[in-house]
Structures are given as structure tokens and as C-alpha cells.
Amino acid sequence: MTEPAPIIVTALFGKADTAYFDGLRRAHFPPERNQLAAHLTMFHHLAPSLEAELKQRLAAETRGIAAPVARIAGLMSLGRGVAFRIESPELAAIRDSLADAFSSMLTPQDAAGWRPHVTIQNKVEPAQAKLLQAQLETDFRPRAAPIVGLATWWYRGGPWEKLSRHMFA
């Protein structure tokens, strides 16, 4: 049996938005560091002991529920990278509910609050990141980016391993 590992929770975008974000990652993320598809992390590190309860809670938040309205609201600097800022009050409410349920077990990073974003470049020189952000801002327009589901992943040090998917209606 495989050793338990921390659990990551992400929000899933539809195919078109995922392809858009992944294309930008392929173009701008250092290839040796680009081990993951584009993602919107909701929790970076939940205890493996929460697996059953987490799956139950995510199923309750998604089954028969309309997909949260979300939008790509702007670009944000990561210092050594660039990300798209995502706004979704409905998704934030789901995250808040989960954070309340697991509050005593959150890591400092997950307890510190949430800045929803999709990283498209990271681990580059700050000047390179500033250049990309300026380039992307020239024709950026905020737009809808529907959230189609929530997913959980095992983190074992490399690419993430799928644990579960919970799709909105």
C-alpha cells in the first residue's frame, strides 16, 4: 500500500479555459519546472486523515449544485512569476466553509487566507516576470471562467496523483 500523503484541493475549469491556461504555462513556465496542468489551488496541504470527510464535504458542495460563477479578473505579480487573479464569491464561500470545518488542522499557508489565482509563470528572474505581465496586460480583458468542479490530489513530491473529482451540476 502507498504511504499516505498530504492532500491538495483544487477548483477545475472547463476545457477551453484549461487549454488557454495550459498553453500559457507551456509558453512561459520554465519547462523543467512545469510538471502540472494549470490549476486553481484552494488548499495546499490537508492531512491524509481527512480524506473520507473531505470527499464527503466536496460531494455535498457540488452534487446537484450549479457551477460557481468565476471570472479572470486581472493579472498579478508573484515577484518571480505571473498569475491570473480569479474572482468568485461562490467559490470563496465553499473554501471558507471547508476552512472552518478543518480550521484546527490547517497549515499556516492554508490558514493565512486565500488569493485565488492561476500561475502561468514562476521561478524566473523578476525582470522577465515583469515583462510578461506587461505584455499580457496590453490586451487583457476580464472574462468569465466557469468552475466545473473540485478535485483532490495526493502530493508525493512530484506531479500530483489524482484522488477524487466532484463535478457541479
- Asked if pLDDT for residue 1 goes beyond 60, the answer is no
Query: Tens digit of pLDDT for each residue in 107-129?
Result: 999 999 899 999 999 999 999 99
Residue 84: its pLDDT value, please?
98
Residue 97's CATH number: 3.90.1140.10
What does pTM read for this prediction?
Answer: 0.94
Residue 88 domain boundaries: 7-167
CB-CB contact of 87 with 99 (8 Å)? no
- The grid coordinates of residue 57 equal 464535504
In a domain, 2, yes or no: no
- Tell me the helices (H) and strands (E) count for the chain, helix number first: 5, 8
